[in-house]
Amino acid sequence: MAKIIKVKNNKVTGDTWAGLLLAAGAEYTLSATEYLAWSTDAKVLADAATGDLGVGDGVTYLTTGSLRIDWLKGNPPVSAAGIPLSEPAVFTGVVGTKSISIVSSDFGDRTSWYQKSVQVVDEVLTDSGNGLTWTSVNANWVNIDNARLTYTHKQIPKRDGTFGKHADWRTIVKVDDVVQTTGYTQNFAAGSITFGASKAGTVVKCTYWHNSVANPSEWLLAPPSGKKLVIQHVELQFSVGTVLTDTVRFEIWAGASIGTYGTFSDGLWEAGYGQFRADYRSARDIINAANQGQGTIPAIGELTQAIVVMPFNYVQAITLDSALGTLFRMVLLNNTPFTDGELCTATFYIQIV
């Protein structure tokens, strides 16, 4: 069974299916060993057909009897929306989990530091004098389409464990309240727009995200509500030309919520919410901590510098549990971007349980 099967007693009284008693309204996730018995049990299939037994994928309960039975029997495997699933390979790891790799923002480019950014809506920009370049009161805009951010659609991790889309952070430019999609360039670091033709005498507005905030480099990896993130492996990858101008701090926090952690103060750390901390002040520190340095990968594609990959393989997987308020925090202590490199990121190889 490579999918999650969750059942629910939709009756007003308790009942028993395949030997399991469920109270009214109770839910249960089938294990791999239970799957076969439930998918062939006559009462299970009959009540799934009527809806007395709810069947879903752990997120959504299916809406029709035929889909519920298909989900139970795997004929064919379908999503909660009834879309056929393609499973061309045998799944590895924990049964019913999803595997994903998540990449941090880039230590060397502040315009990739999106997580703590703040949105400004329809700010009236200032004409620099020639009608071409218009500036904002804030520098350090977020470039969510930055080539250093290797995220795909709806896979951009937010601080609360949910995922966003590129459109959530993109800038919107208006001239006299008409949205502009072409005819200008953006200087994200400076916080300005430059048009190809003068816009003198007009009102130029911009909606954007900027990271001129406290600890702008801070990046959190938190599990979605009701889930666990099991980190099997972490890698740091950076260009050979990179100059480490700041200390990278890795921390694990647990026991509360993001709201309680707030600024992640030393006081809260000492109070017991801090679980693990490692500071990497230099390349030496990273080399000393990594356990299977892979040397360098030759420059490829748009990269002109070779890439150093430093893996951290753990004897025991690290589990971030939403029920315990566990999260991973990464920050540059002085928020000073690394220089002279083309790639400075961390990648987390994860199972979502």
Question: Quick one: pLDDT at residue 88?
Answer: 45
Over residues 8-12, mean pLDDT: 94
- Report pLDDT digits (tens) over 252-299: 999 999 999 999 999 999 999 999 999 999 888 888 888 665 668 899
3-class secondary-structure state, position 102? strand
pLDDT at 81 (0 to 100): 64
CA distance 312 to 278: 13
Residue among 137, 326, 120, 337 nearest 217 (CA): 337
Between CA 167 and CA 183, with CA 200 as vertex, the angle to 5 degrees is 40
Share of residues in the chain with pLDDT > 90 (%) = 63
Given a cut of 50, is residue 146 above it in pLDDT? yes
Task: Return the amino acid letter for 142.
Answer: V
* pLDDT, position 97: 59
Instruction: Quote the pLDDT of residue 241.
Output: 93
Give 109's contacts (C-beta < 8 A, 6+ positions apart): 146, 148, 337, 344
Burial of 55 (0-12, 13-18, 19+ CB in 10 A): buried
d(CA 65, CA 210): 48
Query: Residue 125 carries which DSSP code?
Result: P
pLDDT tops 70 at residue 93? no
pTM of the model: 0.74
Q: Report the length, in residues, of the chain.
A: 353
Mean pLDDT of 44-70: 89
Residue 113 DSSP SS3: coil
Q: Per-residue pLDDT for 89 more than 50?
A: no
Residues paired with residue 19 on neighbouring β-strands, in sequence order: none
Q: What is the mean pLDDT of residues 47-58?
A: 91
Q: What's the Rg (C-alpha) of the chain?
A: 25
pLDDT at position 226 over 50: yes
155-197 confidence digits (pLDDT tens): 899 999 999 999 999 999 999 999 999 999 999 999 999 999 9
H/E element, 101: strand 98-103
Q: What's the rounded mean pLDDT across residues 228-254?
A: 92
Q: In what order do the strands lie in the sheet with 133-135?
A: 126-127, 133-135, 192-195, 184-187
* Pairwise CA distance, residues 320 & 220, whole Å: 12
Residue % of the chain over a pLDDT of 70: 91
Check if the beta carbon of residue 193 is closer than 8 Å to that of residue 185: yes
